[in-house]
Amino acid sequence: MKASDLPLYYNAVEILEHNLADRADKQALFSDPRTLTFGEIAAEANQVANALKACGVRPGEYVGLLAHDSAEWVACFFGTLKIGGIHIGMNTLLTAAEYDYILKDSRARVLIVGEALWDRIDSIREANPQLEHIIVIGEAKFGARTYSDWIGNESTECEPFGTHREDFATLNYSSGSTGQPKGILHAHKDLILTAVLWGHNVLGMTESDRTFALAKLFFTFGTGGNLLMPFSVGASTVLFAGSPRVATDVLAQVTKFKPTIFFNSPTGYAMSLALPDLLTSYDLSSLRLCVSAGEALPAPIWHQWKETTGLDIIDGIGATEVYHIFISNRPEDIKPGASGKPVPGFEVRVVDENWEDVAQGEIGNLILKGESISLSYLHQYEKSKQTFVGDWLFTGDKYFVDEDGYYHHAGRSDDMMKVGGIWASPMEIESTIISHPAVVECAVVGREDGSDLIKPKAFVVLMEDQTAGPELEQAIIEYCREKMAGYKRPRWVEFVDALPKTATGKIQRFKLRAG
Domains of the chain are: 3-186 (3.40.50.980), 418-514 (3.30.300.30)
Residues 6+ apart with CB under 8 A from 48: 75, 76, 78, 79, 80, 151, 154
Instruction: Write out pLDDT tens, residues 47-95.
Output: 999 999 999 999 999 999 999 999 999 999 999 999 999 999 999 988 8
Distance of CA 326 to the CA centre of its chain: 13
Within a 10 A sphere around the Cβ of 500, how many other Cβ atoms?
A: 16
Low-confidence ranges of the chain (pLDDT < 70): 175-180, 414, 418, 420-423, 451-452, 503-505, 515
- pLDDT reported for residue 505: 67
Alpha carbon distance 58, 48 (integer Å): 14
- Answer yes or no: pTM beyond 0.75: yes
H or E element that contains 304: helix 299-309
> Among candidates 358, 310, 338, which has minimal Cα distance to 406?
338
What is the predicted pLDDT for the residue at 178? 46
As a whole number of angstroms, the distance between CA 511 and CA 515 comes to 6
| Cα 476 from Cα 493, distance rounded (Å) | 8
What pLDDT does residue 177 have? 45
Give dist(CA 84, CA 198) in Å, integer. 25
pLDDT tens across 295-346, in order? 788 898 899 999 999 999 999 999 999 999 999 999 999 999 999 999 999 9
Residue (of 448, 450, 444) closest to 490 by Cα position: 444
Element (H, E) at 187: strand 183-187
What pLDDT score was predicted for residue 111?
97
Three-class SS state of 39: helix
**247-257 helix and 266-273 helix, angle to the nearest 10 degrees:** 90
